[in-house]
Amino acid sequence: MADMRVGMTRRLVLTLPAAVATAALMGTSPLAAATPPDAEAVAIEALIQRVAAMTKVSFARNGTTATSVEAAKHMRDKYAYFRRDIVTAEDFVRLCGTRSELTKRAYTVRMPDGTERPAADLLLDELRSIRARPR
């Protein structure tokens, strides 16, 4: 039984690099990570820009309040970190605009009228607005 496992492991070690090389030559990669298609990347960038422009809205994460520009920068930093896991703008909102990865606490926003709401709701509303605009 042990000899069989050694043989299978050896075959895998010898054939895996060949499979990866073949895939690379064919223009595909079995190890490639997800990245958003162009249309989704444009929507994500538009969403980040909208956040930066929300100067009358304050953003809260982990008990600290941030300006719209600071929030946009934080989202951009998280986008760079999670880019391999993001295919859609909804993925971006879920991974970059919903909650703290450290504390798991939801991000919130304080609107100009003083009301608070989950940041994810605001971002998804803005995303719907971006997608609804004529191209």
Q: Minimal CA–CA distance to 90: which of 131, 52, 31?
A: 131
How confident is the model at residue 70, as a pLDDT?
A: 98
Ranges assigned E (strand) in 49-90: 58-61, 64-66
Q: pLDDT tens-digit profile of 32-84?
A: 457 788 999 999 999 999 999 999 999 999 999 999 999 999 999 999 999 99
Answer whether 98's CB lies under 8 Å from 106's CB.
yes
Interatomic CA distance for residues 82 and 130, integer angstroms: 22
Ordered by start, the domain boundaries in the chain are 1-30, 38-132
For strands 58-61 and 108-110, give the pairing. Answer: antiparallel
Checking if the pLDDT of 19 tops 60, the result is: no
How confident is the model at residue 134, as a pLDDT?
A: 77
